Amino acid sequence: MTNTEIREFIENAIAENPVMLFMKGTPEQPACGFSARTAACLNALGTRYAALDILPDQRIREELSGLSGWPTIPQLFVDGELVGGCDIVTEMYESGELAELVGAEQPEQAEDAAARSEAPVGNGKVPLENRLD
């Protein structure tokens, strides 16, 4: 793949998936605590989202950051707009803004769920599309 193709792939992923998470590892097996916490927030909301592991090719990260102007991973996009990384997503999850943004129900005890650093594994609640397949 050329860099241009990678960039187009990323642009398409953001355009086609209303809730699109770029992370290190996968929601089932996050490879970084920040990515794990961000995925855990989405999992707790039970919202449908697509996730892309940026680790297989470092150009994914380079092109993504070039596109978004955001230097770190994870990056969450909702309706084509960058929402933020782990800090912002966690804050918005705890305040209920994230639930509102993605059109989900705010779970009870939201702070407890967000404080977990690991994504729930194998609970079957989270339909996941991985567009790299």
Partner 1 sequence: MPSSDELKRRIETAIPNSIVNVEDLTGGGDHFRAEVVSDRFAGLSRIQQHKLVYDVFGAEVGGPIHALSIKTSIPSGGAT
Give the residues lining the site for partner 1 (CB under 8 A): 34, 61, 65, 69-72, 82-88, 91-92
Nearer to partner 1, 98 or 126 (CB): 98
CB neighbour burial string for 43-67, b if at least 16 within 10 angstroms, e if fewer = bbbebebbbbbbbeeebbbebbbee
The residues pairing with 30 across neighbouring beta strands, listed in sequence order, are 25
Q: How far is the CB of 83 from partner 1 (least distance, A)?
A: 7
For partner 1, which is the closer residue by CB, 14 or 83? 83
| Both structure tokens of 72 | 């770190």
Compute the least distance from the CB of residue 49 to partner 1, in Å. 19
Q: Distance between CA 88 and CA 69 in Å, rounded?
A: 15
Q: Give all strands of the β-sheet with 81-84 in edge-to-edge order.
A: 81-84, 75-78, 19-23, 49-53, 128-129
Q: Least separation, in Å, of the C-beta of 81 and partner 1?
A: 9
Give the nearest distance from C-beta 66 to partner 1 in angstroms: 11
Nearer Cβ to partner 1, position 25 or 85? 85
